[in-house]
Amino acid sequence: MSKRIIQREQVTSRLAAHILENGFEQTSLRNLADAAGVSDRMLLYYFTNKNDLLSSIILKIAAEMAVILAGAIPEVPKLSPLELFQQGAKLTMGTQLRPYMKVSIEISARAGRGEIPFAQLSQGMIDGFRIWIEARLETQDLERRRMEALMLLAMIDGLGVLSFAIDEDDLMKAMNALERTLAR
Partner DNA sequence: TAATTTTTGTAGCGATTGCTACATTCAAAG
Partner DNA sequence: CTTTGAATGTAGCAATCGCTACAAAAATTA
Question: Among the candidate windows 6-14, 35-43, 65-73, 147-155, which touches a copy of itself by CB under 8 A?
Answer: 147-155
Nearer Cβ to a copy of itself, position 91 or 111? Answer: 111
CB 108 within 8 A of CB 160: no
Residues 48-87 that bind DNA (CB under 7 A): 49-51
Is residue 55 at the binding interface for a copy of itself, with CB under 8 A as the rule?
Answer: no
Residue 61: CB partners within 8 Å, gap ≥ 6? 16, 19, 20, 100, 103
Least Cα distance to 127 among 155, 144, 99, 108 occurs for 108
Q: For residue 60, give the nearest of 11, 22, 133, 23 by alpha carbon.
A: 11
Task: Find the part of the chain contacting a copy of itself (CB under 8 A) among 8-16, 33-41, 50-58, 154-162.
Answer: 154-162
Under the binding rule (CB under 8 A), the answer on residue 177 touching a copy of itself is yes
Residue at 135: amino acid letter: A
Query: Counting contacts by CB under 8 A, is residue 83 touching a copy of itself?
Result: no
Which residue in 21, 23, 37, 39 binds DNA (CB under 7 A)? 39
- Any contact of residue 106 with a copy of itself (CB under 8 A)? yes
Mark the segment that binds a copy of itself (CB under 8 A) among 31-39, 42-50, 64-72, 168-176. 168-176
DSSP 66-114: HHHHHHHS-S-S-B-HHHHHHHHHHHHHSTTTHHHHHHHHHHHHHHTTT
CB atoms inside a 10 Å sphere around CB 130? 15
CB 103, min distance to DNA, A: 18
Instruction: Between 31 and 139, name the residue whose CB sits nearer to DNA.
Output: 31
Residues 6+ apart with CB under 8 A from 138: 77, 78, 79, 80
Instruction: Check residue 116 for interaction with DNA (CB under 7 A).
Output: no
Residue 181 touching DNA (CB under 7 A): no
Q: What does the binding site for DNA look like in residue numbers (CB under 7 A)? A: 2-4, 7, 26-31, 38-42, 44-45, 49-51
